[in-house]
Structure 1
Amino acid sequence: METTYRDAIAELETILRALETDTVDVDELTARVQRSATLIRLCKQKLRTAEDAIDRVFENLDQDEELPEPEAPAPTPPAKRAPKTPRDISGGLLF
């Protein structure tokens, strides 16, 4: 059975606790350090694989959802002014 990321982390934590409490004798130390290195490589590989898979998902989303560029809003026509009331030269109303 393949070691999962979670199992690898749990085993690394167990090894670390054993090393911190000095319960590992010198004969076991080398084996534990080698196993730790193997587990760390496994975790790194699983993280890279997950990252690549996530990147592919987002790339596919970008390709699938190629939306047209939003069009610039049409310019607003200038406001219409009320027609001027005819006035005579002096500025008074003609009617």
Structure 2
Amino acid sequence: MTNDLTYRQAIEELETILRALETDTIDVDDLTARVQRSAELIRLCKQKLRSAESAIDRVFENLDDEDELQEDFTDEDDADQTPPPPVSSGRVLRPRPMAPPPDASGQLPF
């Protein structure tokens, strides 16, 4: 039955028990039952808080994973934009001979 309560309902019941304890309206015979009920409600609230924290952590982890995945795709897209290496035709390319440097007068020796 306790697990059917919402967090808010459990807190409200705890506050009701606390007010009763503060005003001395609970007789001694009922005190033990109220303290036990308070312990149950506190355990329920802690469990609900832990559950909510775990769910929130999972949401943020999923967001981080999506960001990392997006970065991976972006990196791959950037890699696709670089030109592919040239395909070799089997020919060996040799550099062309350069013209001889000009002589001291600045004229070419041709």
Q: TM-score, normalised by structure 2?
A: 0.60
Q: Structure 1 unaligned segments of length 5 or more: list them.
A: 70-95
Q: Which amino acid aligns with 1:62?
A: D
Query: How far did 1:13 drift?
Result: 0.1
Aligned residue number for residue 41 of structure 1: 43
Alpha-carbon displacement from aligned partner over 1:21-50 (angstroms, at most 9, x marks no partner): 000000000000000000000000000000
Q: Pairwise CA RMSD of aligned residues?
A: 1.4
Aligned residue number for residue 29 of structure 2: 27
Q: Which amino acid aligns with 2:71?
A: P
Rounded to whole Å, the distance in 2 between the matches of 1:53 and 1:68 is 24
Aligned residue number for residue 68 of structure 1: 71
Q: TM-score, normalised by structure 1?
A: 0.69
Runs (4+) off by over 4 Å: none
Aligned residue number for residue 55 of structure 1: 57
More helix, by proportion: 2
SS at match of 1:23: coil
Larger Rg: 2
Aligned residue number for residue 82 of structure 1: none
Rounded to whole Å, the distance in 1 between the matches of 2:24 and 2:71 is 64
Rounded to whole Å, the distance in 1 between the matches of 2:41 and 2:58 is 26
Rounded to whole Å, the distance in 2 between the matches of 1:5 and 1:34 is 18
Question: Within the alignment, does 1:7 sit opposite 2:14 as a pair?
Answer: no
SS at match of 2:71: coil
SS at match of 1:22: coil
